[in-house]
Amino acid sequence: MQNITVEELKARMDAGETINLVDVREPYENAEFNIGGILLPLGQVQSMLIDDIEDLKDKEVICYCRSGNRSGQACSFLEMLGFKDTKKSCGGYACMGGKFGSKS
């Protein structure tokens, strides 16, 4: 697992880069604020219910959450499940609001 800063993520998104983004927060958190990507709560990752991202095992996958804790856990689980290039967003969406504005 590697880290990616909110600024790096924003710059890549602004450049139009295709990013495999996974939101590991709960649905109510995603409804309040999201920057896109696949909603896959950490509990589903821990239960190995990852059909929605199974085809991304050989691609970069960037996980984000509120603070960076759940995204780190998700990356660790995904690596155990064979994902080769996982990154966690440092700071999570708590730091994203000012960078990304209000999105939902």
Q: What is the pLDDT of residues 43-55, one digit of tens each?
A: 999 999 999 999 9
Residue pLDDT, tens place only, 71-103: 999 999 999 999 999 999 987 666 665 556 555
Q: What is the pLDDT of residue 86?
A: 98
Given pLDDT bands bounded at 50, 70 and 90, which one contains residue 35? confident
H/E stretch holding 78: helix 69-80
Distance of CA 66 to the CA centre of its chain: 10
Structure tokens at 84: 């080769």
Q: What is the pLDDT of residue 25?
A: 95
Q: What is the pLDDT of residue 71?
A: 94
Q: What is the pLDDT of residue 100?
A: 66
Average pLDDT, the chain: 90
Does residue 92 contact residue 67 with C-beta atoms inside 8 Å? Answer: yes
